[in-house]
């Protein structure tokens, strides 16, 4: 199952050990790590992406689910992959693109306090024990959430509701007097613009999801090739 993983540590030393442990679990075949980053929360509440995976094809995941999660936790969107050490945090993120619930962000934020450091990763795991036991052994607090498509359903319902409003406005305009028609047309134009913007966002998300799926497939293909070469 594809999941978003956040493991919070008390300091950078432990976080980097956690990152190495995560990659070891990947090498052992216990999990698959698609992309990762190390995020540090500073005393003033700002955050820095200290380290990130810059190996192709993982770079194509920047700006999708993992990048959005980094942004929501305090780091710059798009710097999760190929991050520049010391880059200051800031910048908005889209909760829908992160494909996780707001409650997950809140739970992590309560533990990712100033002066703490987190390993953030998008992974595939069949069971939680390998990650939990290894991370807890080095002092990590583990959070995970399966990537969800629920937001797409909510988006469709939202667009459908606006389209219903638009149809009602047009019906009302058809029966209105001339002075009222102009005002209704303004409302129609505004609502139609919002609908088009939402449809474009949905298209962008679908395209980003397709790129992410392709990138993950390439990651797994590269791992299989490396394993085959090692056996040979």
- Report the SS3 class of residue 190: helix
The CA-based diameter of the chain, rounded to the nearest angstrom, is 81
H or E, element range at 139: none
Residue 226's domain comprises 150-231
pLDDT value of position 52? 64
The residues with which 124 forms a beta bridge, in sequence order, are 2, 32
Q: How far apart are CA 130 and CA 170, in angstroms?
A: 58
DSSP 59: G
Tokens standing for residue 83: 């991050």
pLDDT value of position 97? 67
**Same domain flag for 66 and 131:** yes
In the listed set 88, 121, 146, which residue is the last one of a domain according to the structure?
A: 146
Q: In what order do the strands lie in the sheet with 2-9?
A: 87-88, 47-52, 31-41, 117-125, 2-9, 141-146
- Please say whether the beta carbons of 118 and 8 come within 8 A: yes
pLDDT value of position 8? 97
**Same domain flag for 16 and 115:** yes
Q: What are the pLDDT tens digits along the chain (232 aa)?
A: 788 899 999 999 999 999 999 999 999 999 999 888 899 998 887 788 877 665 433 444 455 677 778 878 874 433 333 333 333 333 334 666 677 777 788 889 899 999 999 999 989 888 888 999 999 999 999 998 887 654 556 567 768 878 888 898 899 889 888 888 888 898 899 989 988 988 887 787 777 777 777 877 888 888 888 878 877 6
**Same domain flag for 137 and 170:** no
The residues with which 51 forms a beta bridge, in sequence order, are 38
Tokens standing for residue 199: 């449809």
**Same domain flag for 120 and 171:** no
H or E, element range at 153: helix 150-175
In the listed set 114, 146, 178, which residue is the last one of a domain according to the structure?
A: 146
pLDDT value of position 17? 97
- Please say whether the beta carbons of 143 and 118 come within 8 A: no
CA–chain centroid gap for 160, Å, is 25
In the listed set 116, 146, 176, which residue is the last one of a domain according to the structure?
A: 146
Beta strands in 61-218 (DSSP E): 87-88, 117-125, 141-146
Any idea how long the chain is?
232
**Same domain flag for 20 and 122:** yes
H or E, element range at 31: strand 31-41
């Amino acid at each position: 199952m594809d999941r978003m993983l956040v493991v919070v540590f008390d300091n950078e030393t432990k976080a980097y050990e956690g990152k190495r442990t995560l990659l070891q679990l990947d090498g052992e075949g216990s999990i698959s790590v698609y992309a990762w980053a190390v995020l540090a929360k500073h005393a003033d509440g700002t955050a820095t992406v200290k380290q990130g995976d810059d190996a192709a094809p993982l770079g194509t995941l920047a700006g999708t689910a993992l990048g959005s999660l980094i942004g929501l936790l305090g780091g710059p969107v798009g710097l999760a992959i190929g991050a520049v050490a010391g880059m200051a945090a800031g910048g908005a993120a889209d909760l829908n693109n992160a494909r996780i619930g707001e409650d997950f962000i809140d739970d992590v934020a309560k533990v990712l306090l100033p002066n703490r450091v987190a390993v953030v990763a998008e992974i595939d795991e069949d069971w939680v024990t390998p990650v939990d036991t290894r991370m807890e052994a080095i002092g990590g607090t583990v959070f995970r959430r399966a990537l969800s498509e629920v937001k797409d359903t909510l988006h469709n319902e939202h667009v459908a509701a606006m389209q219903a409003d638009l149809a009602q406005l047009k019906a009302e305009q058809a029966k209105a007097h001339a002075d009222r028609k102009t005002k209704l047309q303004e409302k129609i134009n505004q609502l139609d613009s919002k609908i088009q913007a939402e449809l474009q966002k949905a298209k962008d998300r679908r395209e980003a999801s397709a790129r992410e799926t392709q990138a993950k497939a390439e990651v797994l293909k590269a791992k299989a090739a490396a394993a085959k070469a090692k056996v040979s």
